[in-house]
Structure formats: C-alpha cells, structure tokens
Amino acid sequence: MAEGQESESAGAKRITSLLSFSHDKDVDGLASAAIVWRYANSKALEFGVNLTDYGAFEQVFTGVASRRDTLIVVTDLGMDETTQDIIIRGLSRALTQGCRLVWLDHHQWSDQSIKAILSLPNRPVLKLNHDYCSAEIAQKVLMPRDEVCAELAKIAHDTDFNLREIPVANALTDAVSVLRFGAIDRREEVLDALYPVLSKLAESGVVGVWDDANKKFRDQLLEKRVDNYRKEKAKKMRKALAGHSDHVLYNRLVRIVEIPNGLTSTDMGTFASDPENLIFDGESLDVADLLLMLSQGGMLGIRRGRETVLCNMAAKLFNGGGHPYAAGGEYGLYENFQAACDDIFVTLSKDKTWVVE
C-alpha cells in the first residue's frame, strides 16, 4: 500500500500542465472551463483550453495524442459515439505518455462508452451525474471550497435547468450566443470569440464581466451587441411562432415551429412557454405541452410547456435524446414545412412513450 501511494505521488509530480476540453455552446460549458482553469491555477499547472461542440470533436481531440504529462479534464461533453474511436485512440496514446484523464459530465452515456473510457490506461476518472449541471460537478470535484467557482456553478445551474431566475445567467447565455453565432458567421474560431469572457470568468468570476448594480456587461460593446441581439431575437421568435403548426395527440397539445438560424431551442422554448408571447391578432394560443422546433438543417429541438410529456422520449423517435425537460433529435432535410409537420405528427402518434400518464 505504501509503495502504491509513493508511486502515485511520484506520478502526480510529473504532471506539469492541464488541458481542458469543454462545450462551447452554453454557459454550463463555459463555466465548467472557467472552474477547471481556476483549479489549474490553484495547482500551478500551465493551462490550455479547447472548446468544442458535437460534430466537431474530431479536430479537437486528434491533437491530444501528442500530449505528455498533462492532466486532461473534459467537462460538459458526452462521448460522441460517431467519433468515439478517434477520441479513445488519442486519449489512449496520451495516457500511456504520462497524462491523466478526468472526465466530468451530466449527459446520458451508453454503457459501451463508459466502458471505453474506464478501460483506458493510467486510471482515468469518469464522474457522471444527471442531477447536476457540469459546472456543479466540476466545482464539487475540483474546487469545493472556492467561492468564485460556487457562484459560477450556481449560474450555470440556472441556465442549464432553464430556471431563468438569475439575471446575469440570462445575460451570459445571450452573450455566448452573440459571440458564438458572430464567430460562426465570420468563419472565425468560436474559442477566440469566447476567450476574453472565459478568461475573465476564470480570473475573478462573474464580477469580472458583469456590473450587477447596473445589470450590464462591463464591456460596453458586448452589452450593446447583447441588447441588439435580444431585440432581433424577440422579433424572429414572434414570427416563427406565428407560423406554428398544432395538433392534439393523446390529449396533449403538440406544437411545431420552424426555428430560424441564429436562435437557440432554449430561447425559443422559453419564449413559447410564456402566454404573453402567444397573443396573435388579439387571440391567445395555449402554451403547448410539447414544442418541437425544426431548423432548416433538419435538426429538432424539443422542449415542454408542461410536465405532461417527456422530451427525451419524443427525441428518441427522431434518433436523439436528452432530458425530460429538454432534448434534441434529427428529422432530416425537408422542403415543405407543413408536410414535415404532418410527418412528425404521424411519428409521434405511433408511439406513446413520450406521454406522461
């Protein structure tokens, strides 16, 4: 036993740097990376970060194979099964070269993916917990006594569980969208666009980017961009909702809307669950039990207005998954929106698993 401990501390001493992989799409991914960054600073490890999204793992994870003596920390990312082989190969190589792996996540994982991570060399750590967002897991595991990290985790929870109770959490969600969509439009790196916010969050927490007395971002240009984005967004969401297609299935109101580029399912889902936003020409629509948002690329975002349905079960019928309150899937490319809606209604009518009895 004593011998084992000795070799472990000798091994730990060799670690000189920390490489963080996190989700670029939302506040949870960003807050997780900021918490990991603070952990790296607390251990005096040289810090590097990669932000990515599903479908782009390959570019990001291929570089990992050349790392040595690095602590690799992955947060807010589930193993992407289509690129699992590439990820496992890269990580396996890194871990035999003295790297260590800590993977913290809250998405649904297949048994096969869990096994693939746990059978990697050099005793990888994998912590999965569906009751928390990823930033909360990172905070509890890595920085349990750090106040700044505790606040970051709280904010991430507010956005990830769609509670929308903390103003700065909403503002940061919009800032991530503005910066991310802006970078994508200009074909720039999302990481570069998010880096200034991320580094300030890591350095001094929320107070580094947000003036809470005035409920504004400290960066005036960012504040302006977010404000403008919110106005445009409200306009687009109203237009999208006006073109909705409704159908009652198993006594549940199912609504499909076409979601335009530049809007997230979370934004649309929140907007569409507020009765105040559902008044058209003096007539008010009911809040839908199940809301499906079809994007021009054929992706489906799924949210619910009541706890009478399970978004993740509906998503399963469209090759997707997620949580009961928020999920996503894929319908495929389409030309005629109404025909696509009818087709989606037919699929939902054939399987009752998404209905809470």
* Member of 21, 22, 28, 104 binding Mn ion (CB under 5 A): 28
Q: Is 95 helix (H, G, I), strand (E, B) or coil?
A: helix
CB 328 within 8 A of CB 315: yes
For Mn ion, how many residues bind (rule: CB under 5 A)?
A: 4
Residue 107: CB minimum distance to Mn ion, A: 7
Q: Which is nearer to Mn ion, 28 or 151 (CB)?
A: 28
Q: Is 6 helix (H, G, I), strand (E, B) or coil?
A: helix
Q: Which is nearer to Mn ion, 157 or 233 (CB)?
A: 157
Q: Is 212 helix (H, G, I), strand (E, B) or coil?
A: coil
Q: Which is nearer to Mn ion, 134 or 312 (CB)?
A: 134
Q: Which stretch binds Mn ion (CB under 5 A): 61-69, 72-80, 174-182, 333-341?
A: 72-80
Q: Which is nearer to Mn ion, 50 or 134 (CB)?
A: 134
Q: Which stretch binds Mn ion (CB under 5 A): 43-51, 116-124, 126-134, 295-303?
A: 126-134
Q: Which is nearer to Mn ion, 103 or 331 (CB)?
A: 103
Instruction: Tell me the C-alpha distance between 44 and 38, whole Å.
Output: 10
> Would you give the distance in Å from CA 123 to the centre of its chain?
27
Residue 32: CB minimum distance to Mn ion, A: 8
Q: Give Cβ neighbours of residue 97 (< 8 Å, ≥ 6 apart).
A: 67, 68, 69
Q: Which stretch binds Mn ion (CB under 5 A): 14-22, 131-139, 228-236, 310-318?
A: 131-139
| Nearest-CB residue for Mn ion | 28
Contacts with Mn ion in 146-185 (CB under 5 A)? 160
> How far are the Cα atoms of 159, 272, 350, 357 from residue 250, in angstroms, in the given order?
31, 21, 11, 10
Q: What is the Cβ-side half-sphere exposure of residue 154, based on CA atoms within 13 angstroms?
A: 13
134 is a site residue for Mn ion (CB under 5 A): yes
Q: Which stretch binds Mn ion (CB under 5 A): 129-137, 163-171, 181-189, 267-275?
A: 129-137
Q: Is 218 helix (H, G, I), strand (E, B) or coil?
A: coil
CB 34 within 8 A of CB 201: yes
Instruction: Tell me the C-alpha distance between 310 and 303, whole Å.
Output: 9
Q: Which is nearer to Mn ion, 76 or 158 (CB)?
A: 76
- Per CB under 5 A, residues contacting Mn ion are 28, 76, 134, 160
